[in-house]
Every structure is written in structure tokens, then in C-alpha cells.
Copies of this chain bind each other. A is one copy, B any other.
Amino acid sequence: MAQFDHVSVKKKANVYFDGKCVSHTVMFPNGTRCTVGVIFPSTLTFNTGSPELMEINCGSCRVRLAGEESWRSYAAGEKFTVPGNSSFEIETIEMVDYVCHFE
């Protein structure tokens, strides 16, 4: 599925880490939301409020969840989950295009 239908989209972008991460917020009819965005090559730490499901559309990255020793690699078509009220480090090797679902 290349697009979301019957949704609302915020006009204003979310820009984090001096532009290394740019996203737009999408709201679904059932009240849930996601962001569609990109992360440029960098190593960043994101904090979570709600639990997150990150889907990688394009690019490649390595991720380490809070409290874990090891990094795991993710590429196009792969996804990972992050607990709420936690954090993860992401090393973006090739620009990542993603969808991040919030529970």
C-alpha cells in the first residue's frame, strides 16, 4: 500500500535534529496517528511517549533500543517496535524513508 486513504494531514512539518528528521503527521478516522518522514544520514536518539512501530520504506539503518547491548540492522520493507516511555538510537546509513505508527 503506497498511500493512506481517508485521513487527515497536518500542513506543518515536524522538523527535528536540525533538519536531520523531517515528517508530517497523518491522523486516521479511528483516532490513531502516524508520521511519514525521512531521516538523513546521522546517529540520533529518539525518545518515545507512546509505543511506536517503525516501518522502513527505503534506505537502511542500525537501531539500538534503550537497555540493549546490540544494534540490529533494518532495510526497506522491515519494521521494528519501540516500547512507550523509552528511547532508541538510530544510525542512518542511507537516507531512511519511514512510517512511524503510534499506539
What is the interface size of chain A, counting residues whose CB is below 8 A from a CB of the partner? 28
A60 at the interface (CB under 8 A from B): no
B-side contacts of A53, CB under 8 Å: none
Q: Is A11 within 8 A of B4, CB to CB? A: yes
B-side contacts of A26, CB under 8 Å: 9
Q: Is A4 within 8 A of B15, CB to CB? A: no
Task: Tell me the A residues contacting B by CB distance below 8 Å.
Answer: 1-13, 15, 19, 22, 24, 26-27, 36-38, 40, 57-58, 95, 97, 99
What separation, in Å, do the CA atoms of A65 and B21 have in the docked complex? 30
Q: Is B9 within 8 A of A7, CB to CB? A: yes
Q: Is B9 within 8 A of A9, CB to CB? A: yes
